[in-house]
Structures are given as C-alpha cells and as structure tokens.
Structure 1
Amino acid sequence: MKVSELGEFGLIDLLARMISGAQDKSAASYQKLIIGIGDDAAAWKGDAATQLVTTDSLFQDVHFRLSTTSWHELGWKALAVNLSDIAAMGGVPMYAVVSLALPPDTEVDDVRALYQGMIELAQRFGVAIVGGDTCRAPLVSITVTVLGSAKDKDGRMLTRSAARSGEKIAVTGALGASAAGMEMLDKKLELDAESGGQLRRAFLQPEPRVAEGQRLLALGVKTAIDISDGLISDLKHICDSSGVGARVEMERIPIAPAVRTHFSDRALGLATTGGEDYELLFTASDDVIDRVKAELSCPVTTIGEVVAEKPGSVVMVDEHGGLLSLAKTGWEHFKGMK
C-alpha cells in the first residue's frame, strides 16, 4: 500500500499504534506522559509544570512557493503555525529550535530575512530561539519545534477529547481568508490593495491566538483545536477524539469580508474546507461561551452544537435545517483535498 492510499491521518494512526505498542510502559518517560500522539501538542509532567512540545514543517512547493512568498513571511509562518498548536492547548510557548534545509545557492540575505521574520514573532510572545540544525537540500524546508508549558498551575490544558453532547461549538475570528490568499497568489488575481493585503497576511503571516487560548482555558473551556486542515476536518478531529458528533449551521459560519466580496460563489467552501486560518475552534456550555464572548477582544461566533448521534461525524445544515453535502472536508497530506 502506498501512503497516498493510506492518507495522512491513516498514516498517523498507523505510526501512533506502532509507537505505542513498542513503548516501555515502565519507562520514566512513559510514566510522565500525559498526552501523546493525536492532539495539537504532546504533554508530560515536568518537575514544576506540565510541559508541551509541538513541531511542524514547511516544504517548498508543498506549503509555499518562493515566487509568491518573501523569506520574511516564510520565517514568520514557520513559527506561527507551531505557536498556534500551543495556543490550541491553552499553553505558554517558551522555546523554539529550527531545522533548516537550503540549496547551496541560497542568498545569505534571504536566510537573514527568514530569521528576522521568526524573531519578530518570537519577541511578541516571549519565545527564545535556542538552536537547531542546517543542511544542504535541493529545495527549501524549515522545521520548527516549540516547547512550552501549561499556564494553569494545576496542569490543566485544552484538548480535543473533552467535548460533550449538548455543548455549543464556537470559533474565534473569521474564516476562509488564508485559503483565498493562497489562491489569489497562485492565480495572480488582482484585488484592491486593502483586500489583497488582508488575504496575503492571512495566508503568510497568520496571528496565533496564544492569549485567546489561555483565556479560553481560564474561563472554563476544556476542548479546542486550531484550524489548520479546515473547519470541518478539524471539527471531525474533535468528534473522533471525544466520541461525539457535530451539527454546524451554515448561516452562522463567520466568513472573512474580503472572501465574501471577491470569492462570493465559493466563500462557504473556502471557510469550511480551506484550512490554515489558525483560529481556535472550541466547544463549551452556553454560559462559558457567553463569558468568552464578553472577555475576548476578538470576535467569537457560535456555529453549532455537539450531538451524541453518529460519533465522529460532522453534518452541516442550512437555515431551514436541511442537510448540506460535504463533498470536501479539508486538506490531508498524501491524499490532498478530500
């Protein structure tokens, strides 16, 4: 079987079972492990606090094209996607290590610009870049690993596995801008300067919701994920981990204004399956969500409800309650859009 047949998530599940089966359950590393493979970050008991670690890679011509991406933007995004994973756990990012593969004819000034992008974002969140590795390669790739800790003194974290039937589903910010930005750049679409700038930033310089994740945890939210694969796909991750289903109301989904304006015929698809918005998708009771809406400075929109029926499934309904087809649910490496 080829990995294209198994798919990204099938491969992850296979490797997770393989690793778990080989793990020495008596080892200190296992005894201190709280969350392993399957969430936004792994977590383990440290001497003073629960520790978090996450890693992500960006590969040339898979995640970005140098013809449409500046090195500064590439550095920013490489760190941002990892900070977003820590945000989805309600944690505090602390350290980053960077592994960089470069063609030998890469300009030194380009590498400086890449690191400047990372440094600017790292400074905003108090993250120290403490090391890494470099090697020669035919194409550019950058892998960032971020370590952090639980902000809560009791080691509480946001996870994918605590959603319960009857809770509401909510999301920060607006969706679809990143996917629209990628399409704008790939197809060389000419938009007005304001819209074009918004979509470009959404795709190449996303804002990780670190402070928002910490507030969600403090306000009583238990379940969250960052939207990287797409709203529907990432909501399905929550459903799979929590053993529940989800019902999403199409009319409630917050779509970025520039997406509605310039991609009106496909705005809903970009918002639900486009991915890489790096907003926080979470579930909680009505009372908790009301507190979240009152305290967070960013928009928070209730878009649906957790249900007991059909665990692991997500359905979307129109304003009349009619079921909508989900022909595509989001991005999966090896299989592509599914």
Structure 2
Amino acid sequence: MKVSELGELGLIDLLSKMVSRALDKQSRAGQQLILGIGDDAAAWYGDASVQLATVDSLRQGVHFILETTSWVDLGWKALAVNLSDIAAMGGLPRYALVALALPGSTEVEDVTALYAGMLELAKEFGVAIVGGDTDDAPLVDITTTIIGSTGSREAHLLTRSAAQPGEKVAVTGYLGTAAAGLEMLTKHLSFDAEAMASLKKAFSRPYPRVAEGQILVGHGVRATIDISDGLISDLRHICQASRVSARIEIDRLPVLPAVRANFDDKALGLALAGGEDYELLFTASANIIDKVIAAAPCPITIIGEITAGKAGEVTLLDGKGNPVNLAKAGWEHFRTT
C-alpha cells in the first residue's frame, strides 16, 4: 500500500498506535506524559531540573541516499543525531517530536520500518515519541525534536564556552569511522566482512554517548560538543565560544585499524574532517580526564590541549611537534595558517 492510498489521517493513526504500543508506561517518560500524539501539542509533568530542547533534520540527497540506507537504520539515525546533542549538554533525553515529509508514492511498510528504527533506539534510552507532523514532499525529510533535562537544577550544563587554557582536549570512541563507512557505501568499496560491517554500522547507526555525557558532568567537565561536522570544525566551535585556541597531535587521533588499513593516507582526513561520528569532544584537566577514563564504558583519548592563542584557531602537530601541512597529508578540505 502507498502512503497516498492510506492518506495522512490513516498514516497518523497507524503511527500513533505503533508508538502507543511501544511506550513503556512504567518509564519516567511514560509516567510523566499527559498527552502524546493526537492533540495540538504534547504535554508532560515537569520536574525539578533544567529542560533541554534540540532539533535536527536528515534530508534525502543531502544526509542520506535511500539506495545505501535501510529505512530502519534511517529511523535510528534520525533519532540518534538528536540524542547526541542532548548528551553533549550533559542531559538525559525524554521526549521526541517527529516531522516527516515524504512523497505520496512511499510504501507504508517503509514508513513503519522508519519508525521501528526510531522506536528501537527510543526504547533503549527511555524516550517517548509524543507527536510531530506529516507532509507531502518530493523527497524524504525527517526533522526530529528532542526534549530532555538535566539530572537536577543543581547539575551544571556542558557547554561550548567553558574551555580554559591549559586543559587537555579529549574525545570518546574513534574518529573518521562514519566518514569511512559513507565512502565505502557510496563508492561501493569492498573490504573484509568484519571491517565492512563495522564501518557501515558507524555511519548508519551512530550510538549516542548519553551515558558518557553523564559521566563528564559527574566528574566536573565543563566544555563539550558532539562531533557532527568533523573534529576540526567542532573543536573550532569550542575555541570560538570559549575565546581560546587549541593544538592537536595528529599521532594521537584514535582511528580504528579497519579505517587505517583500508583508507591509507586518507584516514587522517577522515578523522579530522569526516564528521558524523557523534562522539563527544571535551576539555578538562588531566586529573579529571583520568577519572573519566576510569569510569567511561568506551575508550577516551587525549588528543591535544587548549591554549591562550587567537580565538578559534586550531593547530595540528606531528609527532615531533611540527605544524602539519594538510595538503601534503592528502587532505585539502581547508587550510590552516
């Protein structure tokens, strides 16, 4: 059956029932929910905490290609990129609103698969999908809004503007894996099965570092951003907001062996500018980072330090402390001075 055959009201009813069945009435979100899908707005009981809200979109032809992405994975990712923003603020995700625009020729089964992917991740993090919007469009466009909160009113937020000179720069997980997965999928590259599976998963199903965000808050980290645009770009955001500069040692960048082995010299560029890793990039004292490393469920790597130079400037250094000429490194997306 086509979406055009089911109609907007039929589609809303179908998805509403699907979400209602998946809602855990015993979860915190379920217990506080007053109104979900079906009214002009969702409503829920507040609590004694700071409320957070974020919104992001995935657009066909810009952020994904249906020929290389399953609808289930697309649903997962549409929610994951927003949960990552909440994680980067040190918050916990609570509710989601989904605005979905798509052609009427779209199969209903594809839309339910999209929601199945969202609901799979939503269940894992206790998030309730409580409403949204549907519209007709020539291409698929998924805009997701997440409402979250901090653990309490006293809990501090993680922000981009709190980095201090002398702090170390660290990152969760690995860099460049999602970009390597995208290149593999779009260029139809072939590697060993294990490498291909890990690269595809990194691009199609990024895992939000919500637990890690809570650990950062608990150990006194102040400055954090999630890596969506790429390491250098997002580190510049922190440096600009904090009025500081940074130095990064490229030999310290955490890159999976599957990326190094299959992308050779391009691995550096993927790690620096690939984007969509949705890891947490943060700054803190070495002592605090040691405590974070001991507590975190994922690898944490120190890759550089914050300095008191020109606001927004990021310098890359090789293993001997010399500035890196990025053009010679095989990466020419942008230049540094």
Verify same fold: TM over 0.5: yes
Counterparts of 2:162 and 2:296, CA distance in 1? 22
Match of residue 293 from structure 1:
293
Match of residue 243 from structure 1:
243
Q: Per-residue deviation at 1:121? A: 0.1
Match of residue 58 from structure 2:
58
Q: Per-residue deviation at 1:152? A: 3.9
1:1-338 counterparts in 2 under 5 A?
48-326=48-326, 338=334
Is the Cα contact below 8 Å between 2:227 and 2:234 reproduced in 1?
yes
Counterparts of 1:304 and 1:179, CA distance in 2? 22
Q: Which runs of 5+ in 2 are unaligned?
A: 1-45
Counterparts of 1:186 and 1:72, CA distance in 2? 19
Match of residue 17 from structure 2:
none
Give the aligned residue type for 1:202: A
Q: Per-residue deviation at 1:47? A: 6.7
Deviations 1:236-272 (A, max 9, x none): 0000000000000111010122111100121111001
Counterparts of 1:327 and 1:210, CA distance in 2? 36
1:202 aligned counterpart, secondary structure: helix
Q: Per-residue deviation at 1:325? A: 3.0
Q: Which runs of 5+ in 1 are unaligned?
A: 1-45, 329-336
2:277 aligned counterpart, secondary structure: coil
2:178 aligned counterpart, secondary structure: helix
Match of residue 36 from structure 1:
none
Percent identity at matched positions?
63
How many residues were matched structurally?
Answer: 285
Counterparts of 1:60 and 1:262, CA distance in 2? 27
Higher-Rg member (1/2): 2
Is the Cα contact below 8 Å between 2:48 and 2:152 reproduced in 1?
no
Counterparts of 1:117 and 1:148, CA distance in 2? 20
Deviations 1:19-73 (A, max 9, x none): xxxxxxxxxxxxxxxxxxxxxxxxxxx7722110000000001000000000001
- Pairwise CA RMSD: 1.3
Taking structure 1 as the reference length, what is the TM-score of the superposition? Answer: 0.83
Q: Per-residue deviation at 1:326? A: 4.5
